Every structure is written in structure tokens, then in C-alpha cells.
Amino acid sequence: MTWFMVGVVVVAAGLLRWRRPAWYWLTFGVVLATVRVLVRYASVMDACGLTVPPSRWRLALARVANRPVPESRVPRILRLRPTRTGLVLRLKLRPGQDAFDVSAATDRLRHSFGMYGVTSREVRSGVVEVRMTGYDVLKQVQMPARTEARPMRVPVALREDGSVHYRDYRAVPHGLTLGATESGKSVYQRNLVAGLAPMDVALVGIDCKHGVELFPLARRFSALADNPDTALELLEALVSHMEEMYQLIRAEQRISVAVPDAEIAADIWDLPDDIRPVPVVVLVDEVAELALFASREEEKRRDRIITALVRLAQLGRAAGIYLEICGQRFGSELGKGITMLRAQLTGRTAHRVNDETSANMAFGDISPDAVLAAIQIPAETRGIAIAGDSTGGWHRIRTPHTSLRQAVNTCNKYADRTPDVPALAAYRPAVAALSSARLPLSKTAPATA
Ligand SMILES: Nc1ncnc2c1ncn2[C@@H]1O[C@H](COP(=O)(O)OP(=O)(O)OP(=O)(O)O)[C@@H](O)[C@H]1O
Ligand SMILES: [Mg+2]
């Protein structure tokens, strides 16, 4: 009978591991992996070259006491923390070791501990965090139920080490998302919209693909444009809105001896809550459509559009205007002003690209490794992207697959939070036109928040 029970448990574990790796991890995987890491730790570290020879005084002590020669020493485990997707190991390095030794050995550690992925980062001098994942967390992305909520910070995707990737507009005001066609740019942008919808923020959209991506989400948008002519007017209205915001900040500055340094307003976040204007996130899908032209008139329009975008990118942050630009390519072949605009877009994300020059447009000036990683994303795993982080490093990320229906439901749910931005009132989408018959609110589709 007992053997029968053991057999049932083994088969159940095998089935879970095959069909539901996340459940397997939470039930069996985490215990087995913790035991395996603790039992094998010293021998694995030795085999991976992460030990240091005994110090001179220990050798001398052994000689004096006539004891056997002491063994090499391994980094000390400060903490072993199981997580939803893997294990986090905090190690205190021995004298003579550095964080690079550990990061160079991550692939060996992965095989030796039987984990799916291992990454490492330096926490502070002499302390390294090794994050291990028990299964492929990017295969079917499940965001944790609880994420660290902060204004203007959206938990948009999962990183391959199991941590959450945030798009933090206050730390990195402007972003650029590149990728070949069908690589997942619009789904990434849709996730951002769904994440921003519950926040106090005005959303402005420019979608020159005739509005197919952003117009269904119109109820949460304060302004929308679906062709380059309207986009030009909208961007120029945004520039005048930005100038008004600067006037407001100037009026509130009133620097006198009595005002403490920390209270002098230099951007909208320093203003008192009751007069602080609502921040604006401008989402541009298929940016190349704004930069292409066929006639002289269109060329003039293009120049004005790019000038407005460059001005918003250069000056928008303090006025609470953030740009989120998506495109298939974004290089100098789109004409003058493009590389100047690109230099201002600090947050880079690259989905699958077909050639090295496209990847270079995102990461060429940041990290050659990231360029290589962006080219190597397989075509069948859409939505996987390489994202730069605020420290200059990069990660493989994937957004949860939010369907257009789920995003529409979220936007409709938070439609009452759509603020009126007076300067953009003329571009507010006519919501009555988006009749509920055309956009039925599904009772079954879950609303993502
Ligand atoms: N994170 C994801 N997880 C699973 N599937 C995804 C993900 N992101 C995108 N996809 C799949 O890829 C398809 C194309 O995605 P999307 O429309 O975002 O591509 P795109 O890069 O915007 O393409 P285009 O340049 O043609 O507009 C989606 O319909 C979806 O099925
Ligand atoms: Mg798209």
C-alpha cells in the first residue's frame, strides 16, 4: 500500500512538472531544490572554481597543532530564500573573490544544481545575490498577485529571473520599444495602458495604423490621433500644454530665504497636491508613419512633428509629460532629428529584430551583449524582449498576453478616471461613437488591473 502511495505521488509530481511547472515548483520543486542546493553546495562550489585556498594563519595553526591541512573555503551562505519561481541565494564572498567570478560561473551552477536559470548580481561590496529559477518562467507568464505599487510605476512584464519588470516613468521618463512586425510591441504597449489605467494619469495616443490598436481603448484616453495631420496638431497642443505647466511651476516657485531647499519646486512632483497637474503619458505606435513623407507638404509636416517630439522629449519630464514610442526601426534613415530624439529615449526595449542594425538602434550605444540577445530571440516566442534597466544592465522579459478584449475591459472599468486636459480637449475621442454594441463588456473575460 505504501509503495502504491509513493508511486501515485511520483506520477502526480511528474505530471505536474510536465503540464503545470509553476504548480510543480510550489508543491515539490521548491523543497527538492532547497535540499539539493544545501546538500551539494560545498562540492558544487569547489567544482565550479568558486573556492579560495585556506589563509596563511589557518595553515600555520594546523601546522602548529599538527592537524591535517584545512580545506579550501567556499563563499558563506548569508540567506537562502525560496520564491514563487525559484531560490534566491545571498553569498558573502571570500577575500580574493569578486562578483565577476560568480557571474562567469552561473551556467555551471545552473547545470550543477539542476535549475532552469541562474543569474547573479552584486548587492554591495563582497555580497552577491544568486537568483535561480526552477522552470521557464517566460513560457507562460503569470504576474505575481501583489506588486510594489508606486505612482507612475507599472509592473509591465516578468524577467527571466522571476522578478517583476517595472516601467517607472519617474526614474526613466521616456521609452523606446523596437521590434520586427508581429514581435509583440503593441501587446507590450497594451499592457502599459492597462497598468496605467487605474492611476491618476492622462493618456494620449497616436496610432497611425488607423487607430486599430489604441482606439478600442478610447474610453481611458484623454486625446487620440489616428493620422499624421491630427498627430501634428495634437503634439503642438501638447507643447503648449507643457509651456503652461512651466508657467505654473514658475508661479509656484517663490524662492525666498524662508523656503527650505527641498520645497523649491522644479517639476510638477514638487508642487502641492491640490494644484499639481495630472501627468501625461504619450503613447506613439508605429512611429515611422510620422516620419515618412511623399510630397513637399508632407515633408514640412514631418519636420514639425519631429520637432515637437524632440521638444517634448527634451523638456517634458519636469512638466510631467512622458513619451512611450514604438516602432519597427528607429534610425537615421528616417531623416533628420531622429537620432536626436532617440538619444532622449532612455528606457530601451527591443523585441525580436531581424538584423543587427535594428538591434543597434536600441542597444548599440548601451551594451553589445544586449544587441546579440535581441537578435537571438526566437520567432515563435513572441512577446519576449530585451529591456535595459536603470543601472545600465539588461534583462530578458516577457509581458503577460493581455488580449485586446481584456485591455478594453480594464479601460472601460477605469473610464471615470480619464482626466480632462484643457489644452487637449479638442482631441478627446468621442466616446458616444464607441457604442457599447461595438465594444461589449465581456462578463467572462477577466479585467486586468
Ligand atoms: N507577451 C506575449 N505573450 C504571448 N503572445 C504574444 C505576446 N506578445 C505578443 N504576442 C502574440 O504576437 C502577436 C503579435 O503581437 P503584436 O500585435 O503586439 O505585434 P507588433 O510587434 O505590434 O506587430 P506590428 O508591428 O505588425 O504591429 C499577438 O497577436 C500575440 O498573439
Ligand atoms: Mg503593432
Q: Has residue 313 got a pLDDT over 50?
A: yes
Q: Reduced to 3 states, what is the DSSP secondary structure of residue 292?
A: coil
* Distance of alpha carbon 133 from alpha carbon 119, whole angstroms: 9
Identical fold for domains 2-133 and 153-433, yes or no, is no
Name the one residue in this structure whose C-alpha cell is 515539490.
28
* Mean pLDDT across 198-203: 94
* Distance of alpha carbon 410 from alpha carbon 219, whole angstroms: 10
**Among 137, 158, 186, residue to substitute to test ligand 1 (most atoms within 8 Å of Cβ):** 186
Mean per-residue pLDDT over the chain, rounded: 88
Question: If you measure from the C-alpha of residue 353 to the centroid of ligand 1, how many angstroms do you get, rounded to a whole number?
Answer: 13
pLDDT for 10 equals 86
* Distance of alpha carbon 271 from alpha carbon 263, whole angstroms: 8
* Mean pLDDT across 207-228: 91
Whether residue 436 is annotated as binding a ligand: the answer is: no
Segments making up each domain of the chain, as ranges? 2-133, 153-433
Question: If you measure from the C-alpha of residue 107 to the centroid of ligand 1, how many angstroms do you get, rounded to a whole number?
Answer: 30
- Residue with the nearest Cα to atom 24 of ligand 1? 181
Q: How confident is the model at residue 55 (pLDDT cuts 50, 70, 90)?
A: confident
User: Which ligand lies nearest to the CA atom of residue 351 in the structure?
Assistant: 1
Per-residue pLDDT tens over the stretch 371-405:
888 999 998 889 999 998 766 788 999 999 999 99
Whether residue 43 is annotated as binding a ligand: the answer is: no
Cα torsion angle, 154, 158, 164, 170, sign: negative
Q: How confident is the model at residue 443 (pLDDT cuts 50, 70, 90)?
A: very low
Whether residue 186 is annotated as binding a ligand: the answer is: yes
Q: Has residue 31 got a pLDDT over 90?
A: yes
User: Which ligand lies nearest to the CA atom of residue 180 in the structure?
Assistant: 1
Per-residue pLDDT tens over the stretch 226-245:
999 999 999 999 999 999 99
144 backbone dihedrals φ, ψ, rounded to 5°: -60, 150
* Distance of alpha carbon 330 from alpha carbon 361, whole angstroms: 6
What pTM was estimated for this model as a whole? 0.86
pLDDT for 436 equals 46
pLDDT for 148 equals 80
CATH of domain 153-433: 3.40.50.300
Q: Reduced to 3 states, what is the DSSP secondary structure of residue 343?
A: helix
Q: How confident is the model at residue 279 (pLDDT cuts 50, 70, 90)?
A: very high
Give the binding-site residues of ligand 1, using a 6 Å CB cut-off: 179, 181-187, 328, 382-383, 398-399, 401
User: CB neighbours (10 Å) of residue 79?
Assistant: 11
Q: CA 148: distance to chain centroid?
A: 14
pLDDT for 356 equals 85
Question: If you measure from the C-alpha of residue 339 to the centroid of ligand 2, how many angstroms do you get, rounded to a whole number?
Answer: 22
**Among 158, 183, 209, residue to substitute to test ligand 1 (most atoms within 8 Å of Cβ):** 183
Please state the atom number of ligand 1 nearest to the C-alpha of residue 179. Answer: 21
* Distance of alpha carbon 380 from alpha carbon 390, whole angstroms: 29
Strand arrangement of the beta sheet that strand 76-82 belongs to: 76-82, 86-92, 127-133, 117-124
Question: If you measure from the C-alpha of residue 229 to the centroid of ligand 2, how many angstroms do you get, rounded to a whole number?
Answer: 20
Share of the chain above pLDDT 90, in %: 54
Per-residue pLDDT tens over the stretch 360-369:
888 887 788 8
Q: Has residue 142 got a pLDDT over 60?
A: yes
Per-residue pLDDT tens over the stretch 86-132:
999 999 999 999 999 999 999 999 999 999 999 999 999 999 999 99
CATH of domain 2-133: 3.30.980
pLDDT for 170 equals 92
Name the one residue in this structure whose C-alpha cell is 526552477.
134
**Among 182, 188, 386, residue to substitute to test ligand 1 (most atoms within 8 Å of Cβ):** 182
**CB-neighbour burial class of residue 127 (10 A; exposed 0-12, middle 13-18, buried 19+):** middle
pLDDT for 262 equals 59
Q: Select from 86, 168, 71 the least CA-distant residue to 129.
A: 86
